[in-house]
């Protein structure tokens, strides 16, 4: 029969082993949060820049064609930035997915390995 100290030591070891996969995925989650938040921040900056440019575009009734052309050009440039950001989000999601798979792979191998008999 094991002593109380041996039982507590075994329990602590098993607890730490069970927490390891969560710690690995926590690192991935923290990285994902930071990268996505920074990408969102960048995109919101682009939105603010576009909105301010639209507001500053003169709306002088004597020069409506020029105002229309300027707003159209700004809208086209903004749409191109949003499309580029969408592609960057896809790349980011792929990278984060690969990172998660890489962190999960060692744990899957551990579970698949047969237990050593004592």
Q: What is the mean pLDDT of residues 34-47?
A: 96
Residue 68 is predicted with a pLDDT of: 87
Domain membership of residue 87 (yes or no) is yes
Domain membership of residue 84 (yes or no) is yes
Q: What is the mean pLDDT of residues 100-116?
A: 68
Could you read off the pLDDT of 87-102 as tens digits, one per residue?
999 999 999 999 888 8
Domain membership of residue 38 (yes or no) is yes
Domain membership of residue 115 (yes or no) is no
Domain membership of residue 5 (yes or no) is no
Q: Structural domain tally of the chain?
A: 1
Domain membership of residue 8 (yes or no) is no
Residue with tokens 């969408």: 86
Which domain covers residue 47, as residue numbers?
33-93
Could you read off the pLDDT of 76-90 as tens digits, one per residue?
999 999 999 999 999
Q: Contact, 71 vs 54, CB < 8 A? A: yes
Residue 32 is predicted with a pLDDT of: 92
DSSP state of 59: -
Domain membership of residue 99 (yes or no) is no
In the predicted structure, residue 107 carries a pLDDT above the cut 50 = yes
Q: Which two tokens stand for residue 25?
A: 């995925």
Domain membership of residue 79 (yes or no) is yes
Q: For the range 73-80, what are the long-range contacts, defined as Cβ-Cβ under 8 Å and sequence gap of 24 or more?
A: 74/50, 75/50, 77/50, 78/46, 78/47, 78/50
113 phi, psi to nearest 5 deg:
-70, 140
């Amino acid at each position: 029969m094991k002593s109380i100290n041996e039982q507590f030591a075994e329990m602590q070891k098993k607890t730490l082993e069970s927490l390891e996969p969560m710690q690995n995925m926590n690192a991935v989650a923290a990285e994902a949060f930071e990268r996505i938040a920074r990408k969102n921040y960048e995109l919101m900056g682009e939105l603010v820049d576009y909105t301010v440019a639209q507001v500053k575009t003169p709306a002088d009734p004597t020069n409506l064609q020029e105002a229309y052309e300027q707003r159209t050009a700004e809208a086209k440039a903004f749409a191109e930035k949003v499309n580029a950001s969408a592609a960057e989000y896809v790349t980011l999601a792929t990278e984060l997915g690969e990172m998660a798979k890489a962190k999960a792979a060692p744990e899957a191998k551990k579970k698949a390995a047969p237990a050593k008999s004592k």
